[in-house]
Homo-oligomer: A and B are copies of this chain.
């Protein structure tokens, strides 16, 4: 007779339930995932992740974005360590801050300047403050369903917020020029800025790149009114274009918010802007105790330089295309109808006639059992550490998972 022993993951969840509200906060709460998904992880390297039970996964969440060159990249770690031997934070910044700002300004097409923070939310908040300070106006246009951070002014939830937190937001529909013009008209002469995600990547929805016509319309409204065109590049940072995601449609924003992948997992965020908004960015008082940390800036420098040196985006595109083509062929072969959308390096896979995402999560769970970590509703992420061998092993898992989907759902 074997005594029942809870798994390492279950034991940690029980301990956490006592000392953490709801056992876990935010987007990494495994209570939002099927039961088979682990909550706790033990180690990671390159494209691979191991949970606390020792199970290995080829990972397509990349820590929900940050792991761009792969987990524990040796070049990024070496740069961080070299800096930490001198020190991380001081009573002021180090030369690394200047070097990183120069690197970014020299790479990001619209950028005349850069500032650094820790969270993506810090960066989007600074964009909002800069737009309001520059224009003396208050209204911000944001797309319906878009996510620009987890604080009351921009998060999509009522809990803990007041009506006044969002009183100056006006909604439009992404890629819908008429709705954007309507929102701008509603703002009237009080328009401070237009927020646009790099592309439409709403949770559980088809991912769509901006049309050039939409991007140009947004630019034209800002040119006409003096408002700031703000690209929220937090999720897409350095996966679509090193010069900023809207280079894909040839439109330059005034301000952009960056985070997640820009230092390959070291905590860093950035705001970039053009000279028109420099004075306003100087006048607002924004700061944080750790925003001057040189270790994450050294990691950031190493990340930007390595991404260029190895053409990291090209790698992700080739691997992402290999994955997309493979899954499309498998879906056809199994007679399963699904839509893959988003840039191949930031895909989402949505099954037809699956409003409650039952098929999606069943598919992901079957893949998970076979050592592949996918997500059924959120943007997934390739990294430059994913190899053709990783993709081919992944496709073995997805082939079997799609066979199970076909068997179960017909």
Contacts and interface: CB of A to CB of B under 8 A. Distances in A.
Contact of A93 (B39, B67, B286): B39
B167 A44 contact: no
Question: What range describes how many residues of A lie at the interface?
Answer: 35 or more
A44 B87 contact: yes
Given A84-B77, A120-B289, A160-B133, A28 B267 contact: no
Given A19-B114, A41-B90, A95-B40, A287 B84 contact: no
B19 A160 contact: no
A318 B72 CA distance: 42
Interface string A338-357: 00000000000000000000
B89 A265 contact: yes
A112 B18 CA distance: 8
Nearest to A61: B91
A93 B51 CA distance: 10
A152 interface: yes
Interface of A: 12, 15-16, 18-22, 24-28, 30, 38-45, 49, 52, 59, 61, 63-67, 71-72, 77, 84-95, 97-98, 101-102, 104-105, 112-115, 118-122, 125, 128-130, 132-133, 138, 150-153, 155, 157, 159-162, 164-165, 167-168, 259-260, 265-267, 273, 278-293, 296, 373
20 contacts: A18-B105, A20-B98, A21-B279, A25-B281, A28-B91, A28-B92, A30-B92, A39-B92, A42-B95, A52-B94, A67-B89, A71-B90, A88-B265, A89-B265, A119-B119, A132-B161, A133-B159, A138-B162, A160-B286, A265-B293
